[in-house]
Structure 1
């Protein structure tokens, strides 16, 4: 009997031991099989919201503590069962091996439920990786101040304070950099004075002579006889003579003097060809003491048919060049220059045979109606003494655009419509021409009426439209706006010529002139007796290298970073970001 009771007690104890051992093993397996999710522990949390990561750490620590407590309770029960096996002899029965105490099962279900809830509110894997990547970048960045946005131990107020400091630094950098770039775009050049007069040469003054007599009387009479059917009587012929003479001398100053009552059957498009058919043969001769020979060219100006000396642009305004439809560049040779060691150098025009107007200008320019002109009679020998002021541009300035240097070289003629080269005077002439076209619908006959380009389907087509020539009605319209045309200023109309000065320019001013009666006819002598002691020079003051140095100094002053810091940013957010986000 005693032996049976001992066997029953041993059986009960073995069953209790197996139950306790199975419970401990299940708890340990649950502890081992509980995964630590990649999204639950990726870093200290978002930069400005560190509480999210702290709450996740607290829940994970509580779960681990419960599991460890369960394991320790199971071990304690196992030790108690060993002691009871020695003390008790009651028969026991075996329980199923998968049976769990109700308390352990409830704890496991509660842990599984919390895990599912955390999975529902946990961020996406890519978002968590991106969060960890940004924190890693801030902690390892070489830019000053970024490390304090992700440093451990700082509260929310401290992070916001450092974030504000960084924003102020970035705003200062952007604001001052914009000013620097604006300065580089608008005024990178400086005009300085050069007083070393023995080093550079001075351009010899160019001039344009416009004779008062434009029509040959013999040719005019022949034309009247050949077209006698156009005239009613002798008075009509006399009115025609007056009309042709005033048409040949027509300019913006005397538009109102032209008779507008009768056109005599002459179409406005034939005005210029008729004037060249009837023009008086003005053939002056020129001589100079310069080493380079000077040439005199016939040219069409806003004052009619004139002649220019030592000009690089006069031949582009000849009637022959216009009629041929040519747009090619012409060889004028070099401009005539003189040196202080050459002494006093004069040039003279002889055999003028008529009264004339004179306009002094640079070799790369044309006479302008807004500038002063000098009138001399046909019986005087006139000597004019001039002073010069020149400005030239350094070769380094060619790398800048026209808006930056605020001048144009002769080859920069993209916006010119009637000539293949650029000149400040030619640009003003075109501006007056197109202003007249816009207001009156026609252009005066002393302009080239064929545009170089025309717009066709948003493309520039060479040798474009032909502009209408102003007839009597159009000239009457020009009379009303002639002040606006001459000054290119108007309160009623918007005028924007966009004409820049010549980069290499010469300005001449009449210092003195004297005239005396000369029995051989009108002669004109001009030259420089007092060489300029100063020359203006356009140099580069603020280059692109200066812009880089200035902006780099601002970035280094406010953020303490360099070019390698920007390389680091590019590396982090390209190669390293792709590797962290898409590679395991």
Structure 2
């Protein structure tokens, strides 16, 4: 192989001396041009034609031997340097290095600051873009219109086909559209009335006369003795606090004060002396009353199969005792003082049956005059109900009649607004007890009304709520404020204040009415006997009259009557406007 470099350009002729010519013959390579010949010629003297060929990127070139004639030879040639062997003075060989021509770098993006700004779109391009958007919008509207026409023509709902049927004029289509609107309005209005009925009154109270089937609850009662303070304990208290009683008059006033405080209720608020507090803070009234109370310990006996218990309880009439009650223990002083909020076990409810005959219960050893309130086992005495007062020397027999109402188990699936009643475990809104009772709800309503008007509550209420809040107890000034609104508190009706208790009746409730009572003098003290002679011949039951299934049937009948469609027609609507709509709009 023979490679020759021939440069016949005038530039090469001027830059090359006559004695130095470039010729490569055979295996010897002679370089006759000087290093100046590697410099590029001037711009004005360049011309086309064959020139010096340089191959950048060659990894390794031929290594040439030293020419004995003294000419230059190339020893190595790389992309970096080219080593040239040249005879120097005294016949020594010297090596020179020249910079070889490198491969030009690949293209790189110019810096951001040197980027040319994008040319603004021409008016023709903007117009063409708007035209394309307009065409897409027209095509989309056409697809939607075709889809709606397809749905109307294929729907199973009566009347829809005439809105898109061919051959009908505009008046006919509007007439059918008006008919469909009237049908839809009728369906919506009647369905709203049906749903309102389901939400407000789905229950019915029916009468059951099969008296041999059910059991009747035995009447419960609450006994409030007139004597509540022990005089000996009062004397001990006066001796233990001589700094509070400087004179005999102060001691007599304190005796009168503590007796009236123990019997304080909304009816006799004005009888309490309000001139002196004797150093007793209002939040200690209840503690002092239980410290000085008279030991009232009656005994109870009954002819019922289930044993009855008597519990001490705190009521709006003071310290009382309840028999056969399921809620009395939640108002006991020990339960309040322990800070307990748990549900207590009261045992089985005492019931009687007509086949049991006459059954009486008796309280003996009362030892004082007393007031009696008859109520159901799941309730407490209310100040607005009738009370009976009996002396301490009479043996009294009370005969009662019962009227009970029970709620069907199916009604438990409904909410309280639909039932218009509450079970005892539905106590979410109660703040002082963990169970619900109509009487307890009314008591809390009176308590919060007194707190709102006077800023405090009477001492016979529990002043610590379930959320941990502690309410202030009324002192002498607070009781003076309660005297002004006592009639409104008792009746829970007011023209000056807004009172909304939102108390619902008990779902399982028992009401007892005194049929007759008789008293005779008894030398062994006050005794009370009560029971049921005439068993109730009817019972009220709260049953479900209008369930959710009835709502579906009623509304389905309306839709079928006015539009002639069924549940599958609504499924068809859902299918058309989901899967089929996506398919028509976005799939070819």
> Is the structural similarity TM-score above 0.5?
yes
What's the counterpart of residue 352 of structure 2?
338
C-alpha distance in structure 2 between counterparts of 1:126 and 1:545, whole Å: 43
What's the counterpart of residue 489 of structure 2?
485
- The answer to whether 1:307 aligns with 2:311 is no
Give the alignment's TM-score, normalised by structure 2. Answer: 0.77
C-alpha distance in structure 1 between counterparts of 2:436 and 2:217, whole Å: 19
Indicate which of 513, 532, 542 corresponds to 1:509.
513
Indicate which of 394, 406, 418 corresponds to 1:392.
406
What's the counterpart of residue 437 of structure 2?
423
Q: Which runs of 5+ in 2 are unaligned?
A: 1-129
How far 1:227 sits from its partner (Å)?
0.5
C-alpha distance in structure 2 between counterparts of 1:318 and 1:181, whole Å: 44
C-alpha distance in structure 2 between counterparts of 1:231 and 1:164, whole Å: 91
What's the counterpart of residue 352 of structure 1?
366
What's the counterpart of residue 362 of structure 1?
376
C-alpha distance in structure 2 between counterparts of 1:170 and 1:388, whole Å: 51
What's the counterpart of residue 63 of structure 1?
none
- The answer to whether 1:205 aligns with 2:219 is yes
How far 1:157 sits from its partner (Å)?
0.5
What's the counterpart of residue 437 of structure 1?
451
How far 1:122 sits from its partner (Å)?
9.4
How far 1:546 sits from its partner (Å)?
0.0
Residue pairs, 1:374-389, within 5 angstroms? 374-389=388-403
C-alpha distance in structure 1 between counterparts of 2:261 and 2:329, whole Å: 23
- The answer to whether 1:153 aligns with 2:157 is no
SS of 2:430 mapped into structure 1: coil
SS of 1:209 mapped into structure 2: strand
What's the counterpart of residue 458 of structure 1?
none
What's the counterpart of residue 555 of structure 1?
559
Give the alignment's TM-score, normalised by structure 1. Answer: 0.78
C-alpha distance in structure 2 between counterparts of 1:334 and 1:505, whole Å: 16
What's the counterpart of residue 522 of structure 1?
526
How far 1:334 sits from its partner (Å)?
1.3
Indicate which of 416, 441, 449 corresponds to 1:402.
416
State the Cα deviation string for residues 139-194 of structure 1 (Å, max 9, x = none): 00000000000000001010000000000000000000000000000000000000
C-alpha distance in structure 1 between counterparts of 2:242 and 2:136, whole Å: 106
What's the counterpart of residue 140 of structure 2?
126
C-alpha distance in structure 1 between counterparts of 2:134 and 2:384, whole Å: 83
Indicate which of 181, 194, 200 corresponds to 1:167.
181
C-alpha distance in structure 2 between counterparts of 1:496 and 1:274, whole Å: 34
Indicate which of 404, 412, 426 corresponds to 1:412.
426
- The answer to whether 1:194 aligns with 2:208 is yes
Which has the larger Rg? 2
How far 1:232 sits from its partner (Å)?
1.9
Indicate which of 559, 571, 574 corresponds to 2:575.
571
State the Cα deviation string for residues 103-149 of structure 1 (Å, max 9, x = none): xxxxxxxxxxxxx9999799621111001000000000000000000
Distance 1:133 1:264, change over 3 A: same
C-alpha distance in structure 1 between counterparts of 2:146 and 2:507, whole Å: 59
C-alpha distance in structure 1 between counterparts of 2:474 and 2:383, whole Å: 19
C-alpha distance in structure 2 between counterparts of 1:205 and 1:441, whole Å: 37
C-alpha distance in structure 2 between counterparts of 1:185 and 1:383, whole Å: 46
Q: Which runs of 5+ in 1 are unaligned?
A: 1-115, 454-463
Residue pairs, 1:237-256, within 5 angstroms? 237-256=251-270
How far 1:228 sits from its partner (Å)?
1.2
What's the counterpart of residue 474 of structure 1?
478
C-alpha distance in structure 2 between counterparts of 1:439 and 1:304, whole Å: 22
C-alpha distance in structure 2 between counterparts of 1:379 and 1:142, whole Å: 86
State the Cα deviation string for residues 286-335 of structure 1 (Å, max 9, x = none): 00000100000000000000000000000000000000000000000111
Q: Which has the higher contact order (CA 8 A, sep 6+)?
A: 1
Identify, as 1 or 2, the structure richer in helix.
1
State the Cα deviation string for residues 459-499 of structure 1 (Å, max 9, x = none): xxxxx210000000000000000000000000000000000
RMSD of aligned alpha carbons: 1.3
How many residues in Structure 1 have an aligned counterpart in Structure 2?
459
Give the ranges of 4+ consecutive aligned residues of structure 1 lying more than 2 Å apart after TM superposition: 116-123
Distance 1:119 1:435, change over 3 A: closer
C-alpha distance in structure 2 between counterparts of 1:393 and 1:271, whole Å: 41
